[in-house]
Amino acid sequence: MKKLNVLLVDDEIMIREGFKRLFDWESHGCQVVAEASDGMEALAKIDEFVPDIVIMDINIPIMNGLKVIQCSRLKHPDMAFVIVSGYDDFEYCRQALKLKITDYILKPVNYEEFGNCIEHLKISLFQNQTKKEEVVSNQRSIVSITKFLQDHLEEDLSLNILADEFHLNPQYISQLFKTEIGVGFLTYLTNIRMEKAKKLLLSSDESISNISSQCGYYDYRVFTKVFKKHEGITPSQYRRDFLKGV
């Protein structure tokens, strides 16, 4: 697993040095990549290094820590922030919690407690990363699958055929349609077949039987039944009503 990058933000250099020297970042799978001594510098370093974790005092010059977090959230919504402050103040805690910080630790820092905080944070970051990778993988899969369907509408199509084509589990593909598109596989397939049918009915004078086979229905009577259920009228009526309106 790659090391997590950490940004230290505190206006007192001794505090920053203490964090670097007194806490074993290596054993916790982390590395300090940058430091900042005020709010504006912190914002710049956050944009430059995009750290996984920001360890920050609230009471820093130019722009306080809470404001830095608020501004950073706009660009980096998933970044982890740990507030370290000498201000044992409920209002600060309340504001910090609103900004969804990971933890709030008081000075002087108990490094054992801080280590527990980092370990919990690592688990959270790993889970978030796993979820993001899963979302990206799901999106890529559904894009590839729907393109395949569009290109092969005249063929026999099923979840098992898609599973063989993409080396995926049929149940996984079925779930993909529900989570990524919002409808089941058969509903989606019928919808795009009907859309193709309507285009062919209006843009050509081909027979209903030919259009039926181009849309994956080899029995035009089944096609007519499905079309009527989907559109409320038969394919012939659909074409006739269009021509009347031209």
What is the pLDDT tens value at each position of the chain, 246 positions in all? 689 999 999 999 999 999 999 999 999 999 999 999 999 999 999 999 999 999 999 889 999 888 999 999 899 988 999 988 876 665 666 666 666 677 778 888 899 989 998 998 898 888 888 999 999 999 999 999 999 999 999 999 999 999 999 999 999 999 999 999 999 999 999 999 999 999 999 999 999 999 999 999 999 999 999 999 999 999 999 999 887 765
- Cross-sheet strand order for the sheet of 30-36: 30-36, 4-9, 53-56, 80-85, 103-106
CA distance 79 to 73: 7
Which residues pair with residue 36 across a beta bridge?
A: 9
Look at residue 92 in the predicted model and tell me its pLDDT: 65
232-241 contact pairs (CB < 8 A, 24+): 235/197, 235/201, 235/208, 235/211, 236/208, 238/198, 238/201, 239/201, 239/202
Look at residue 219 in the predicted model and tell me its pLDDT: 95
Give the E-state strand segments of the chain in sequence order: 4-9, 30-36, 53-56, 80-85, 103-106
CA distances from 17 to 14, 93, 104, 156 (A): 5, 25, 20, 67
Look at residue 99 in the predicted model and tell me its pLDDT: 65
Look at residue 220 in the predicted model and tell me its pLDDT: 94
| Location of structure tokens 């096609």 | 223
pTM score of the predicted model: 0.75
| Residue 7 and residue 33 in contact, taking contact as beta carbons nearer than 8 Å | yes
Look at residue 104 in the predicted model and tell me its pLDDT: 78
Conformational region of residue 28, where left means phi above 0, alpha means psi within -120 to 50, and beta covers everything else: alpha
Look at residue 160 in the predicted model and tell me its pLDDT: 97
Residues in the chain: 246
Q: Where are the domains of the chain?
A: 4-109, 187-245
CA distance 152 to 123: 43
Question: How is domain 187-245 classified at the CATH fold level?
Answer: Arc Repressor Mutant, subunit A (1.10.10)
Q: For residue 24, how many C-alpha atoms fall within 13 Å in the half-sphere facing its CB?
A: 5
Look at residue 86 in the predicted model and tell me its pLDDT: 77
Question: How is domain 4-109 classified at the CATH fold level?
Answer: Rossmann fold (3.40.50)
